[in-house]
Amino acid sequence: MNENNINNKKKQDEESIINQAASEEYRYGFVSDFETDVIPKGLDENVVRRISQLKNEPEWLLEFRLKAFRHWQTLPLPKWGKVNMPDIDFQAISYYAAPQTKTGDKKEIDPELKKTFDKLGIPLEEQKRLSGMAVDAVVDSVSVHTSYRERLAELGVIFCSISEAVKDYPDLVRKYIGSVVPYTDNFFAALNSAVFSDGSFVYIPKGVRCPMELSSYFRINAAQTGQFERTLIVADDDSYVSYLEGCTAPMRDENQLHAAIVEIIVEERAEVKYSTVQNWYPGDKDGKGGIYNLVTKRGICRGDHSKLSWTQVETGSAITWKYPSTILKGNNTVGEFYSVALTRNYQMADTGTKMIHLGKNSRSTIVSKGISAGHSENSYRGMVKVAPAATNSRNYTQCDSLLLSDTSGAHTFPVIEVGNDSSIVEHEATTSKINEDQIFYCNQRGISTEDAVGLIVNGYARDVMKKLPMEFAVEAQRLLSVSLEGSVG
Amino acid sequence: MNNSLKQYIDLHDQNLKAINSHSATQLNSLRQEARKVLENATLPPKGSDDYEATDLNEALAPDYGVNINHVDLSRESTTKFRCEVPNLSTCLYYVFNDTFRPSATAGQSGDKASVESFQNTKHPEVLAKHYGTVASLNNTCTALNTMLAQDGVLIYIPKGSATSKPIQLINVFDANARLMAVRRLLIVLEDDAQAKVLVCDHTKGDQQYLSLEVVEVIAGRNARLDYYHMEESDNHTTRLSQLWARQSEGSNVLIDGITLTNGFTRNDYHIDVDGEHCDTHLLGMAIATSSQHVDNHTLINHNAPRCHSNEMFKYVLNDNAIGAFAGKILVKPNCPKIDAYQGNRNIVASPTAHMYTKPQLEIYTDDVKCSHGATVGQLDQDALFYMQTRGISLPVAQKLLMQAFMSDVVDGVRLDTLRDRLRHLVEMRLSGDAMICESCELKK
């Protein structure tokens, strides 16, 4: 075969692979047919009061919501992200949707709902569990089931929905809610504080090492609703917990809003590991529909020697706007951020982290891997700030971007600020396409281009993947290979 | 509109007639446009994007005098200033405050190249053709300069010619009162032209000075330009400089911004690489002590495929110095085979010095190799220890390491004699010695 033929064949191969990849459907795009209580669309003080009333909340929480709502009204929609954010009509969204339980008993799972979670591969019934993982499942605005609660309670670990926590542990919730992400923080934090519906609450008491992975599974099901969940994790002195978060949504032509807040408080010598596999519906191949994922995630290493580690695999959402951050307040604290963000078709992701060094000898590591294909835009935006008092601090940042098409964009916007003479901050970033030599080498050894791309990208993302808990790593790896098949062009 | 901006607009409105009558005629055409842009402009507040560490409001707030009637304020004759680089013969020109003065050695090269003031240029058509074509009025400082500019320096190298000697331009501030100089430099290299330009900043006296500069560089096909800027002013000088460059196919441009002593400096470099096979080198260095403020902001726009760019900025900060760097490499869609690197390395040598850095990449084409690296740190303790075990005292060891640290930028200088001179100046600067050239009368 002459060279031309080989080239033509290669091109045809690549084209067919691309077509195949483009037609790859979103697996979780089904709609479940259970009944949902939805309050009418629109947002005003009465809606905020209604949400609070539906959830039988105490007066102080209603006050908190109202303060946040009034503040939110004064804020403009932020436009600084490197995403093409359309004007969102906040009056066209319903702010509360609760799946109805036919039996009326919350402990009993609606069979339709159970089917949904079976389809998603999320086991809600303990006996079917293979590995020890406790799951809190949140559908639309309500937490529908939390497994393994009793076993955890024996150790003093509280793992429940935040609505239950407000009733059962009001002092704990009141002490910590809004302490890391105040409602004044930003537009979406204010919105969430006003209308948040459910989410998970975790409290690990002093000296307890949580024996199993805790996990939340978020699912948007109802149409024309938004999901505004709130997660609060408190790890008391000398404790440890690993928390996982997963999310999916049905395929719809409309854009749906997801504006969450995650707050994490890590006390002395405690360690929290927070992992996310974000797979919200990304819209179709023409960029129609998809979730706007606009979340505020922040943790504080309050005590000395504490550690907070964020790991995220971002493959979904039409727009992602998310910066899991760590405030390293205590001395000798450690912050970590590992991220793989994959965008294809018309997805836009603007994600990164902030590491705020306030304590002495604090250390942080940032590893961010961006992969952009199709017509997508993928940005890393990060900040490393070393306060004058944070002497001997150390940061290492690596953010690499891989471009798989000539119509996609990859951007890096880091900010570094160093205020003393004993800290070391390093940042490096590269942007390139998949190395043709590597693909050629793989081809030569009988590995198809498609598999070669998969291999190379998985190798490229390995630094992050190996930080994920095993159960998630498998899912994440599969997600990556599904999304990437044939994206080489 | 901010007050600090308003005072200059008022100055313009009240003295428009005088400004126009003492100006090169080609500059009047853009003046109104600039004025219109400024009508709705505001100075970006400190902390806003790209101005993390720099407060333009504060920099422009003092009531500086502007020499609208173009009275010659230069009190000294050109013979008294010697900024000669040892072993380097240059064609020497001066800009005293805002007035252009050729020296005795000027124009002796016998080349086709010309270095003239806008007002007295023999090439008014070149000035008319290129003035204001690269600099964008959307930039507030550039608009302010364009609104007030009356004169400037035109360096014109016609097609296919080259300067036999480097062109040296010395900006001197010397006045009895607080003064703002509106400086403008236009460098036009036609196709296949070559030039080396060295610009030095000096100040005399203890008045407060503001240099509002716009430099425009037009590099034709296969042109080759070396542009070195050395800032050796003092702590009461503010410099707001905008450099705009446009490169055509096959051109090779080196821009080197060196800040050795200064007060408050903000340099913006905007480079548009419009042709294929261009080579762009953007280098910078700052050694800052006491409360010096050095902010460099760069943007390299790769608008054409198959180009190479290399950017490196290095800072050593001591005492209460503030350093800032923001750089962006932008690769437009359909510009494959771009090889671009951007580096920013900083040493913070005192607990009260502060460094801000923001290296950015914005890439819209897949077949590129772009990377950047930024570090903020200290001298290597092991290296310092090793040198001390060999009998080298700590201060000397520190100085040696800092010199070595700066060598990337120093070695980037493509003129051998200037490179040696710069190495010597860096050494003197790091030892804290005065850096006045031996034969110069510009002593403080």
pLDDT confidence of residue A3? 55
Which residues, 6+ apart, have CB-to-CB distance to B141 below 8 Å?
B56, B212, B214, B240, B242, B268
The answer, yes or no, to whether residue A5 has pLDDT greater than 90, is no
Q: Using beta carbons and an 8 Å cutoff, which residues of A are at the interface with B?
A: 80, 388, 391, 401, 403-433, 489
For A293-325, what is each residue's pLDDT tens digit? 888 999 999 999 999 999 988 888 888 888 999
**Alpha-carbon dihedral sign for residues A168, A171, A174, A177:** negative
User: Is the Cβ pair B358, A416 closer than 8 Å?
Assistant: yes
Find the closest chain B residue to A430 by CA distance. Answer: B371
pLDDT confidence of residue A42? 80
User: Is the Cβ pair A80, B351 closer than 8 Å?
Assistant: no
What SS3 state is found at B369? strand
pLDDT confidence of residue A27? 63
The answer, yes or no, to whether residue A441 has pLDDT greater than 50, is yes
The answer to whether A170 and A162 have CB atoms below 8 angstroms apart is no
**What mean pLDDT is predicted for residues A89-110?**
64
The answer, yes or no, to whether residue B189 has pLDDT greater than 60, is yes
Between A89 and B356, whose confidence is greater? B356
Residue A115's pLDDT band (cuts 50, 70, 90) = low
User: Is the Cβ pair B377, A423 closer than 8 Å?
Assistant: yes
**What mean pLDDT is predicted for residues A76-105?**
73
The answer, yes or no, to whether residue B170 has pLDDT greater than 50, is yes
Q: How many CB pairs under 8 A join A and B?
A: 121
Tokens at B164, concatenated? 């036999």
Q: Which residues of A touch B354 (CB under 8 A)?
A: 417-419
The answer, yes or no, to whether residue B382 has pLDDT greater than 90, is yes
Between B4 and A108, whose confidence is greater? B4
Residue A104's pLDDT band (cuts 50, 70, 90) = very low
Distance from CA of A416 to the nearest CA of B (A): 5
CA pair distance B314, B235, nearest whole angstrom: 20
User: Is the Cβ pair B378, A406 closer than 8 Å?
Assistant: no
Residue A109's pLDDT band (cuts 50, 70, 90) = low
CA proximity to A337, closest of A380, A391, A392, A280: A380
Residue with tokens 């400024």: B38
Distance from CA of B346 to the nearest CA of A (A): 10
Q: Which residues of B touch A426 (CB under 8 A)?
A: 373-377
**What mean pLDDT is predicted for residues A468-479?**
74
pLDDT confidence of residue B428? 85
pLDDT confidence of residue A291? 83
Task: Choose the closest CB to B373 out of A80, A415, A428.
Answer: A428
Q: Which residues of A touch B359 (CB under 8 A)?
A: 412, 414, 427, 429
pLDDT confidence of residue A145? 61
The answer, yes or no, to whether residue B443 has pLDDT greater than 50, is no
pLDDT confidence of residue B429? 86
CA pair distance B241, B233, nearest whole angstrom: 14
Residue A129's pLDDT band (cuts 50, 70, 90) = very low
The answer, yes or no, to whether residue A32 has pLDDT greater than 80, is no
Looking at chain A, the whole-number percentage of residues with pLDDT higher than 70 is: 78
pLDDT confidence of residue A18? 44
**What mean pLDDT is predicted for residues A430-444?**
87
Task: Spell out a b/e string for B133-148, using b for 16 or more CB atoms within 10 Å of the CB, else e.
Answer: ebbebebbbbbbbbbb
pLDDT confidence of residue B384? 93
Mutate to test the interface with A, among B366, B371, B372, B379 (most CBs of A within 10 A): B366
Task: Choose the closest CB to A431 out of B333, B336, B361.
Answer: B361
User: Is the Cβ pair A489, B365 closer than 8 Å?
Assistant: no
For A325-338, what is each residue's pLDDT tens digit? 999 999 999 999 99
Residue B203's pLDDT band (cuts 50, 70, 90) = confident
User: Is the Cβ pair A424, B334 closer than 8 Å?
Assistant: no
Q: Which residues of B touch A419 (CB under 8 A)?
A: 354
**What mean pLDDT is predicted for residues B419-443?**
73
**What mean pLDDT is predicted for residues A419-444?**
88
DSSP H or E stretch at residue B6:
helix B3-14
pLDDT confidence of residue A106? 44
User: Is the Cβ pair A388, B352 closer than 8 Å?
Assistant: yes
For A383-409, what is each residue's pLDDT tens digit? 999 999 999 999 999 988 888 888 888
Query: Around Cβ A334, how many Cβ atoms within 10 Å?
Result: 21
User: Is the Cβ pair B366, A417 closer than 8 Å?
Assistant: no
Q: Which residues of B touch A422 (CB under 8 A)?
A: 351, 378
* Average pLDDT score over chain A: 80
Cα distance from N-terminal residue to C-terminal residue, chain A: 22
The answer, yes or no, to whether residue A223 has pLDDT greater than 80, is no
**What mean pLDDT is predicted for residues B243-263?**
94
Lowest mean pLDDT of A75-79, A104-108, A366-370, name the range: A104-108
Is the ipTM of this structure higher than 0.90? no
Q: Which residues of A touch B358 (CB under 8 A)?
A: 413-416
Distance from CA of B155 to the nearest CA of A (A): 37
Tokens at B422, concatenated? 């710069």
For B74-98, what is each residue's pLDDT tens digit? 655 555 555 666 667 788 888 888 8
Q: Which residues of B touch A408 (CB under 8 A)?
A: 364, 366
Cα atoms in the 13 Å half-sphere on the side-chain side of A194: 24
Q: What is the DSSP string of A299-339?
A: EEE-STT-EEEEEEEE---SEEEE--EEEE-STT-EEEEEE
Task: Choose the closest CB to A432 out of B333, B346, B368.
Answer: B368
pLDDT confidence of residue B176? 81
User: Is the Cβ pair A425, B364 closer than 8 Å?
Assistant: no
Task: Choose the closest CB to A421 out of B334, B350, B371.
Answer: B350
The answer, yes or no, to whether residue B376 has pLDDT greater than 80, is yes
Tokens at A236, concatenated? 């008391």
Residue with tokens 């989410």: A199
Find the closest chain A residue to B343 by CA distance. Answer: A428
What SS3 state is found at A247? strand
The answer, yes or no, to whether residue A112 has pLDDT greater than 80, is no
User: Is the Cβ pair A426, B377 closer than 8 Å?
Assistant: yes
pLDDT confidence of residue A267? 93
Q: Which residues of A touch B373 (CB under 8 A)?
A: 426-429
User: Is the Cβ pair A405, B366 closer than 8 Å?
Assistant: yes
Task: Choose the closest CB to A412 out of B353, B361, B376.
Answer: B361
Q: Which residues of B touch A387 (CB under 8 A)?
A: none
The answer, yes or no, to whether residue A130 has pLDDT greater than 50, is no
Task: Choose the closest CB to B365 out of A406, A415, A423.
Answer: A406
pLDDT confidence of residue A211? 81
User: Is the Cβ pair B351, A422 closer than 8 Å?
Assistant: yes
Task: Choose the closest CB to A424 out of B349, B372, B377.
Answer: B377
What region, left, alpha or beta, does residue A282 occupy, with left being phi > 0 and alpha being psi -120 to 50 degrees?
A: alpha
Q: Which residues of A touch B360 (CB under 8 A)?
A: 411-414
Name B252's bridge partners. B224, B279
Residue with tokens 């080239």: A7
Distance from CA of A418 to the nearest CA of B (A): 5
For B211-225, what is each residue's pLDDT tens digit? 999 999 999 999 999
Distance from CA of B382 to the nearest CA of A (A): 15
User: Is the Cβ pair A417, B52 closer than 8 Å?
Assistant: yes
Lowest mean pLDDT of A18-32, A47-61, A366-380, name the range: A18-32
The answer, yes or no, to whether residue B285 has pLDDT greater than 60, is yes
For A149-173, what is each residue's pLDDT tens digit? 777 888 888 888 888 888 889 898 8
Q: Which residues of A touch B336 (CB under 8 A)?
A: 406
